[in-house]
Amino acid sequence: MNRLHKTLLGGLMILAALFLPAHAEKKPRIVADLSTHTVAVKTDFAGTRVMLFGALVGSDEEGKKRPDIIVVVRGPSLPFKLHRKKRVAVIWVNADERAFRAAPGYYALLSSGLLENIAPAARLRSHGIGFEALQDHLLAAADGFKSIEEAREYARGFVRLMKKKGLYRVNDNGVTMTGRYLFRAQFDLPANVPLGEYEADVYLWREGKLLGKYSSPLNIEKRGFERFVYEFAHKQGLLYGIAAVIIAMAAGFAAAAVFRKS
């Protein structure tokens, strides 16, 4: 555990001590923070791990079942186009384009135990927690589908594809309780994680009831020369295209000159 992590954990322990008097509140609340709120993506970026530390603050009656915690990290909201493969002669080609107007480019679900042991599936779904709720979100953003059944099929396939890419993740033991009041979680961001704004939502549950929620922002952005190129390409698309053609032509002439000399 590095100095930053120790500082975060120490601060949360102090908060827990300050806000846990005998008659302070009737139910616990959550305070939490991330080890970083900005992830810099450079050329050598190969993925990273982000830590989340938290504490339950406010009075908690002795003898009651310890609360359960669910952490959902999601973002950014992006449009996705999908194609069904179709065989034409001896080759497979893309056909029947479908789209989801908005879907999270990354989705991580971590919990202190099995979701079915924390709360009823319908209740979790109503709060937007879990892959069933995620598929509901996809159906609401479906575009170009012939029927709701087809949209559901594509939504299930989309979730499977994103899991295969490592962008949708689930870990039933992803939240670790440290004593009765402190907890921590960690989630991995792969090298192909999309840029943009993220949200880490922490949900506090007890005996199937939602007691509270805490949100913390996270931003993934390019830094250095990569950021300059990225912003230039998106804000000055025409000039970027012209520059790319000129650089390619210059490289071609340089290569031809080298081969003539050899």
Instruction: Give per-residue pLDDT as tens, 165-198.
Output: 999 999 999 999 887 788 999 999 999 999 999 9
Phi, psi for residue 165 in degrees, rounded to 5: -80, -10
Mapping DSSP onto H, E and C, the string for 157-216 reads: HHHHHHHHCCCEEEECCCEEEECCCEEEEEEEECCCCCCEEEEEEEEEEECCEEEEEEEE
What pLDDT was estimated at residue 98? Answer: 84
Is 33:53 a contact under the CB 8 Å cutoff? yes
Which CATH superfamily hosts domain 3-223?
Macroglobulin (MG2) domain (2.60.40.1930)
Nearest to 30 by CA among 103, 102, 112, 98: 112
Residues of the chain with pLDDT under 50: 1, 6, 14, 17-25, 228, 232
Regarding pTM above 0.85, the answer is: no
pLDDT the model gives residue 116: 92
Domain map of the chain by residue range?
3-223, 225-262
